[in-house]
Amino acid sequence: MKAWLLKGYNQPLEPIERNRPQPAPGEILLKVKACGLCYTDIKIIKGEIPPPIVTLPHVLGHEVAGEVVEIGSGVSGIGIGDLGVVYSYLTCHDCPKCLTGRENICQNLRRVGFELDGGFSEYLSIPAYNFCPFSKSLQTQKMAILADAIGTPYHAITRLAQVKAGQDVLIVGAGGLGLHAVQIAKLCGARVMVVDLNPDALVLAKHYGADEVLPAEGAGQAVSELTAGQGADAVIEIVGAPLKP
């Protein structure tokens, strides 16, 4: 099968041929139909996520959607031809974190596209547990980002912040994750305020449902006035970069 390999930091990915994987017991084999390019992949290419997390040579790609083409022994409920996205966190299901519903911080965590090779290849073998099926009427290239660029703000808003109808939510940063966060918070019934340095990003945030869009300059005072001095009930920070002096 074909794959794209990162052999050196700040180098172009190289096309290679490698053996097609075989699904082990409890695993399925996917034919990759789409794989998103996350900014984290750019960081990997730049060498900003070094060993032991990512070790070269490496196949990137953690936003994967694919079609089931082979099924390992012991797998039930999944059929050949099923479409789904890959939940990229491979966990032990046995450590204290997993057993208390926090497998995202599993003590034995490995991830597709990080510690493990990812979806920049024709085929990918994964545990059946990590396959999240979706309807064949949906487009795989749109679904590929579900488990990351959509799953991340969904977890933040619904699980961590537990946003409820009638609350005020402030989203800082209207990039890819931020725009998904706007839509998810609106579906929760919140009033959504968005802050960004980029006027074009604010236009997009308004297009996707933000109630208030605020330039960074004076945003704190604006939020205070909009909430009658109470402030936001939840703040979702999705910039992830230090302030420049």
Are the CB atoms for 211 and 185 separated by under 8 Å? no
Q: What per-residue confidence (pLDDT) applies to 7?
A: 97
Q: What per-residue confidence (pLDDT) applies to 147?
A: 86
pTM of the model: 0.86
User: Please, which residues have CB within 8 angstroms of residue 182's CB and are 6 or more apart in sequence?
Assistant: 171, 174, 192, 194, 205, 208, 209, 210
Interatomic CA distance for residues 79 and 28, integer angstroms: 10
Are the CB atoms for 137 and 162 separated by under 8 Å? no
Interatomic CA distance for residues 194 and 100, integer angstroms: 33
Does domain 151-237 bear CATH number 3.40.50.720?
yes
**What are the structure tokens assigned to 163, written together?**
């946003």
Q: What per-residue confidence (pLDDT) applies to 114?
A: 97
Length of the chain: 245
Residue-by-residue DSSP string for 105-152? G-TT-EEBTTTB--SSBSEEEEEGGGEEEE-TTS-HHHHGGGGTTTHH
Domain ranges of the chain: 2-144, 151-237
User: Please, which residues have CB within 8 angstroms of residue 241's CB and are 6 or more apart in sequence?
Assistant: none
> Which residue reads 């493990």 in tokens?
116
Q: What per-residue confidence (pLDDT) applies to 240?
A: 75
Q: What per-residue confidence (pLDDT) applies to 244?
A: 62
Backbone torsions φ then ψ of 186, nearest 5 degrees: -65, -40
Q: What per-residue confidence (pLDDT) applies to 162?
A: 97
Per-residue pLDDT of the chain in tens (245 residues, 90 and over written 9): 999 999 999 999 999 999 999 999 999 999 999 999 998 999 999 999 999 999 999 999 999 999 999 999 999 999 999 999 999 999 999 999 999 999 989 999 999 999 999 999 999 999 999 999 999 999 999 999 998 999 999 999 999 999 999 999 999 999 999 999 999 999 999 999 999 999 999 999 999 999 999 999 999 999 999 999 999 999 999 987 766 65
Interatomic CA distance for residues 226 and 10, integer angstroms: 45
Residue-by-residue DSSP string for 51-102? TTTS-SSB----EEEEEEEEE-TT--S--TT-EEEE--EE--S-SHHHHTT-
User: Please, which residues have CB within 8 angstroms of residue 154's CB and are 6 or more apart in sequence?
Assistant: 180, 184
Backbone torsions φ then ψ of 190, nearest 5 degrees: -85, 160
CATH of 2-144, one of 3.90.180.10, 2.40.50.140, 3.30.70.2190, 3.40.50.300: 3.90.180.10
Are the CB atoms for 132 and 85 separated by under 8 Å? yes
Task: Point out which residues pair with 30 in neighbouring strands.
Answer: 68, 124
Distances (CA, A) of 172 to 163, 192, 214, 225, 237: 16, 11, 10, 17, 5
